Amino acid sequence: MKEEKKNRIAACKAAKKCGGCQYQGIPYEKQLQDKQKAVRQLMQSFCKTTEITGMKDPYHYRNKVHAVFARKKDGTIISGVYEEGTHRVVPVEACQIEDEKADAIINDIRGLLKSFKIKIYNEDTGYGLLRHVLIRRGFSTGEIMVVLVLGSPVMPSKNNFVKALRKLHPEITTVVLNVNDKRTSMVLGDRETTIYGKGYIEDVLCGLKFRISSKSFYQINPVQTEKLYGKAMELAGLSGTERVIDAYCGIGTIGMVAAKSAKEVIGVELNPDAVRDAVKNAKHNQMKNIRFYQEDAGRFMEKMAALGEKADVVFMDPPRSGSTEQFMKSVVTLAPKKIVYISCDPQTQARDLKYLTRHGYKAMGAYPYDMFPFTKHAENIVLLTKN
């Protein structure tokens, strides 16, 4: 096993330029120790930190893979990632953290382009068609979505292209065309059409089925997500009588797991696509005690507080930038007995903990999880209870 791991680490030719794996070549145990130490340091003035939960097999965990396409001066087509901080494309054919099936599909798409006369989009001139490919795979259902991001809306012989691609990869369940004609570093544009299948994939997490469309946030490491959510539920200790808020809820995963053992759950999320998925997910899983609102979480909580609403438990899982004072001030007014704060950036979480612990809450413990092996990122759950 050890020898095999070493070989896999040595195999990444793109590491230096890609910059995605800051822990390239560093033994996994050491990575975990480093993350553990970093989280503990950030948390030490608030509470104890338990040992970080790592992965048994820390490779190929990413269920979402993105590749940018480019044409070299000699005409060769490459696909991979942007060199860190630039718009130069570094070719990547295999990656130790990405799903291997997704990488194989991307390589085969590259192989098909020539015979279908599909030109690569040129960022400088705006000429050409294919810009990016995004792949999402439901690890437990096996469903695969391929999103072809184009610089203009018309793709010639798209049906034959899908046929040829599905011949190579019959496991692809849906293909979506996304049009991004802006000169932007954002991968996906606004317009989408489904050219094969249902336009989204489904995955099973904690015994519930979730639909995921191209733009919705979905945890990229489902193996660790089940452990993370399990811990969050254990800390919340729901008994069936509680009113729960799932803030920054994405497609409603945490809220729906909580709804199984709560009286009522309210989810709030800014991204309209994610909210649409969340509503459909609740219906599909026949959950009648959960509602979703599409709004800025801070503004939503402020309104709840102004209406004199109460909550027993608040789950909050903000993006890397963390939460806002508007949000936290309103949480304090809503006065839940428990706050379960899940964070993908313990640094901004520590900043937010400062506010919450100064306004009537006590941090009871920090529980780090390694959701992103080989990268510098760590995930951390903190339980806060009302003083």
Residues making up the annotated binding site are: 219, 248, 269, 317
* CA distance linking residue 253 with residue 175, whole number of Å: 24
Phi, psi of 137 (to 5 degrees): -130, 130
* 91 contacts 79 by C-beta, under 8 angstroms: yes
Give the shortest CB-217-to-ligand SAH separation in angstroms. Answer: 3
Q: Annotated binding site for S-adenosyl-L-methionine: which residue ranges?
A: 219, 248, 269, 317
Q: Is 344 a catalytic residue?
A: yes
Please compute Rg for the chain using Cα positions.
22
* Residue, CB closest to ligand SAH: 250
How far is it, in rounded angstroms, from Cα 68 to Cα 189?
A: 14
Q: Which residue number, 104 or 270, has a Cβ lying nearer to ligand SAH?
A: 270
Give the nearest distance from C-beta 321 to ligand SAH in angstroms. 8
Nearer to ligand SAH, 196 or 327 (CB): 327
3-state SS class at 167: helix
CB closer to ligand SAH out of 92 and 334: 334
Beta carbons within 8 Å of 351's beta carbon, 6+ residues apart: 322
Cβ closest to ligand SAH, residue 67 vs residue 254? 254
Q: Which residue ranges make up the site for ligand SAH (CB under 6 A)?
A: 217-219, 248-250, 253-254, 268-271, 274, 296-297, 317-319
Pairing of strands 379-386, 361-369: antiparallel
Residue that is written with structure tokens 């295999």 in the block: 94
- Closer to ligand SAH by Cβ: residue 148 or 297: 297
CB atoms within 10 A of CB 325: 10
**What does the chain come to in residues?**
387
Least separation, in Å, of the C-beta of 230 and ligand SAH?
A: 13
Give the shortest CB-372-to-ligand SAH separation in angstroms: 13
Rounded distance between C-alpha atoms, residue 90 and residue 70, angstroms? 9
H or E element that contains 31: helix 28-43
- Closest distance to ligand SAH from the beta carbon of 274 (Å): 5
Name the residue nearer to ligand SAH (CB basis): 87 or 351: 351
Closest CA to 201 of 252, 248, 131, 135: 135
d(CA 313, CA 127): 52
CB of 41 to ligand SAH, least distance (A): 24
Cα 13 from Cα 123, distance rounded (Å) = 25
Per annotation, catalytic residue among 12, 21, 95, 344 = 344
Are 186 and 177 contacting, i.e. CB atoms less than 8 angstroms apart?
no
Instruction: Give first-to-last CA distance, the chain, whole Å.
Output: 48
Q: Could you list the active site residues?
A: 344
